[in-house]
Amino acid sequence: MLTRLKGGRIYDPENGIDGEVRDLYLRNGRIVEAPADPREAKEVIDISGRVVMSGAIDIHTHIGGGKVNIGRMMLPEDHAKDLVGANRHPHLGCGHAAPSTRTAGYRYAEMGYVACFEPAMLAGNARQTHMELADTPMVDKGAYVLLGNDDYLLRALAAKRDAEFLRDYVAWTLNASQALAIKVVNPGGINAFKFNQRKLDLDEKNAGYGITPRQILTALADSVRALGLAHPLHVHGCNLGVPGNVETTLDTIRGLEGLRAHLTHVQFHSYGTEGDQKFSSGAARIAEAVNAAPNVSLDVGQIMFGRTITESGDSMRQYAGSAYADPKKWVGMDIECEAGCGVVPFRYKDRNFVNALQWAIGLEMFLLIDDPWRIFLTTDHPNGAPFTSYPHLIRLLMDGSFRRDMLATINPEAQAATTLGAIDREYSLYEIAIMTRAAPARSLGLKGFGSLAPGARAHITVYKDQANREKMFAKPDYVFKDGQLIVRNGRVVEEVHGATHVVHPDYDSAIERELDTYFDRYMTVRKDNLRVTDDEVRDDGRGELVVHPTKRST
């Protein structure tokens, strides 16, 4: 059936369309050319005056896997304040900071999102991660698998194995874990924490292997380039949260020497040591470096005031952060000679100097980086704030007077320490559409996403144009996924299951034999039992597998 969405104002940056009034036609889950006679459309939905964008994409949100589930189990008190009843969603659920899988899917859809990416999957935990993602309805999804703290890679680097071998290992890991991209977290630092190192700078050697974070970053970024993955190496850098880490981040950008990388939750990596409290904003310096480095993209990891939980693979830094747990409980783990995790409940307070300045630093970053194609809107859910705060964040970016009003309410010393009040920039709807749609689709290589051109998947969000952008983005009038109306007036009307996006680059099968030997000697699971099969991802119809091309796929 042909459906006509009539008279909407279209924001489609992928195709250079900035607020033009046009009709959209949908058929069989795709956007199609306008027919010669508009009356061919059997269904006409009048959306005159409304704002139309493609479905939104969250490039970095912790929605599935072991540490997310620890967060859920830890926070019954948080869930109790946010129970989702049978009259609200197709299935029961709960949770504001650590929502149940189904609730997360419904709420993302109700904000106009059609795809969400879990950025920190462990190969050893990939099966569980995919089962959780399969139980996250409404949205498409995918995951980035962690490398760079696994003893196998560090051993290979210490043995000076060649680039070809590393590429094979990276490719094997992507296949085995059914991942879309590679992420590195505190390169070598999580492993170093197991050898009782408490910090690891970019050029400091890991005690177990004599390898530096810089070596790991370069090796992985080069492997990702050689494999031809759409998404560059996803980097959670060294020294997260440490005052002075702006220097580390600038060094990291320089150290890439032109290799592509995505720096994630950069707000947490942009701190200086100026001022009475030895904590200051490094946002301007990072923005300057990023503006001059076209090989680098980033997401912000904006914080919002209130309660949340921080869930990270960075056991080293989470151990340090556990002193500030609120309430006083936290979980740390060393995991399978591969990774670690730290789960720490936290409350960001607007009256606290450091928290208030973190809030300002994130906003400075958004406003000082020129190119919206290289900066994505995230709160590093739930680490900076739950994803449900995105509409509020969009208002802060689009509405300068609202932003200044909010600035006036935070810790006065933080107000004095930020340049935020002097920045007039306001994001346009077109720029919001870039950073939440077109740019993440391009960065992840999601063909057919982030576009409203004929041939694109019919992922469409229709908003009432309201001066209060928070209200506007919190509750779209219509959300279509693959042409199907799934949300009406901000409420789920149809439950659907999304697909999982992966890459399957080829590798030399010789590495399988070497890995078999390694696993049999060192690990407590056999190599082949880590592998998540295609059928498992499809999971009896809960999911669908979309395999994206790489330079190395046959």
Contact 364, 403 (CB under 8 A): no
CB nearer to other proteins: pick between 128 and 428:
128
Answer yes or no whether residue 152 interacts with other proteins by CB under 8 A.
Answer: yes
User: Does residue 90 have a cis peptide bond before it, meaning omega lies within 30 degrees of 0?
Assistant: no
Q: How far is the CB of 490 from other proteins (least distance, A)?
A: 20
Which residues ranging from 261 to 320 are in contact with other proteins (CB under 8 A)?
319
Q: Is 336 in the site for other proteins (CB under 8 A)?
A: yes
The residue count for the chain: 554
Q: Contact, 133 vs 543, CB < 8 A?
A: yes
**Burial per residue of 366-376, b for 16 or more beta-carbon CB atoms within 10 angstroms, e otherwise:** bbbbeebbbbb
Q: Which residue's CB is nearer to other proteins, number 48 or number 87?
A: 87
In 85-208 the beta strands, taken as DSSP E runs, fall at: 93-94, 113-121, 140-146, 181-185
- Identify which of residues 287 and 444 has a Cβ nearer to other proteins in the complex: 444
| Token pair recorded at residue 109 | 């859809």
Count CB atoms within 10 A of the CB of residue 34.
Answer: 14
376 φ, ψ (degrees, to nearest 5): -115, 150
Q: Smallest gap, in angstroms, from Cβ of residue 143 to other proteins?
A: 14
Q: Please tell me whether residue 54 binds other proteins under the rule CB under 8 A.
A: no
Helix (H/G/I), strand (E/B), else coil: 379? coil
Size of the site for other proteins (CB under 8 A): 93
Q: Is residue 73 near other proteins by the rule CB under 8 A? A: yes
536 binds other proteins (CB under 8 A): yes
Q: What dihedral do alpha carbons 530, 139, 31, 180 form, nearest 10°?
A: -30
- Nearer to other proteins by Cβ, of 249 and 318: the residue is 318
| Contact between residue 147 and residue 219 where contact means Cβ atoms under 8 Å apart | no
| Residue from 8, 66, 119, 483 binding other proteins (CB under 8 A) | 66
Greatest extent of the chain over all pairs of C-alpha atoms, in Å:
71
Cβ atoms of 382 and 62 within 8 Å: the answer is: yes
E runs forming strands in 96-180: 113-121, 140-146
Part of the chain binding other proteins (CB under 8 A), chosen from 111-119, 237-245, 425-433, 535-543: 535-543
Kindly identify the residues of this chain, within the stretch 200-239, that bind other proteins according to CB under 8 A.
207-210
Nearest distance in Å: CB 344, other proteins: 8
Shortest Cβ distance from residue 194 to other proteins (Å)?
Answer: 6
Considering beta carbons, is residue 84 or 420 the nearer one to other proteins? 84
- The DSSP output letter for 40 is G
**Window 91-110: contact mask with other proteins (x via CB under 8 A):** xxxxx--xxxxxx-------
Concatenated DSSP letters for 395-444?
HHHH-HHHHHHHHTTS-HHHHHH--GGG------HHHHHIIIIIHHHHHH
d(C-alpha 15, C-alpha 433), whole Å = 11
Between 94 and 114, CB nearer to other proteins: 94
What is the spatial distance between Cα 107 and Cα 304, in angstroms, rounded to a whole number?
Answer: 18
485 binds other proteins, rule: CB under 8 A: no
Q: Which is nearer to other proteins, 106 or 359 (CB)?
A: 106
Q: Which residue in 12, 58, 118, 132 binds other proteins (CB under 8 A)?
A: 132
- Contacts to other proteins from residues 379-438, by CB under 8 A: none
32 binding other proteins? (CB under 8 A): no
* CA distance to 265, 287, 327, 361, 394, per residue, from 367 (Å): 15, 9, 33, 10, 12
Q: In the range 450-479, which residues lie near other proteins by CB under 8 A? A: 457
Q: How far apart are CA 374 and CA 371, in angstroms?
A: 6
Q: Binding of other proteins at residue 329 (CB under 8 A)?
A: yes
Q: Which is nearer to other proteins, 339 or 462 (CB)?
A: 339
- The token duo for 384 is 């900076």
Applying the rule CB under 8 A, the residues between 337 and 356 that interact with other proteins are 337-338, 343
Binding mask 160-199 for other proteins (x = CB under 8 A): ------------x--x-----------------xxxx---
Residue 323 as a binder of other proteins (CB under 8 A): the answer is: no
Q: Pick the piece of the chain touching other proteins (CB under 8 A) from 20-28, 48-56, 335-343, 375-383.
A: 335-343
Is residue 74 near other proteins by the rule CB under 8 A? yes
**Is 294 or 549 the residue whose CB approaches other proteins more closely?**
549
User: Minimal CA–CA distance to 271: which of 175, 377, 365?
Assistant: 365
Q: Does 370 bind other proteins (CB under 8 A)?
A: no
Query: Does 248 sit near other proteins (CB under 8 A)?
Result: no
Does 504 bind other proteins (CB under 8 A)? Our answer is yes
Check residue 378 and report its DSSP letter. Answer: -
CB atoms within 10 A of CB 21: 12
Q: Count other Cβ atoms within 10 Å, centred on residue 86.
A: 8
Identify whether the C-beta of residue 79 lies closer than 8 Å to the C-beta of residue 95.
yes
Minimum distance of other proteins from residue 209's CB (angstroms): 6
CB of 510 to other proteins, least distance (A): 12
Residue range at the interface with other proteins (CB under 8 A); choices 82-90, 277-285, 290-298, 430-438: 82-90
Characterize 350-363 residue by residue with b for buried, 16 or more Cβ atoms within 10 angstroms of its Cβ, and e for exposed: eebbbbbbbbbbbb
Q: Which two tokens stand for residue 140?
A: 């498409």
Region near other proteins per CB under 8 A, out of 282-290, 297-305, 399-407, 524-532: 524-532
- Considering only residues 328, 401, 422, 424, which one is a binding residue for other proteins as defined by CB under 8 A? 328
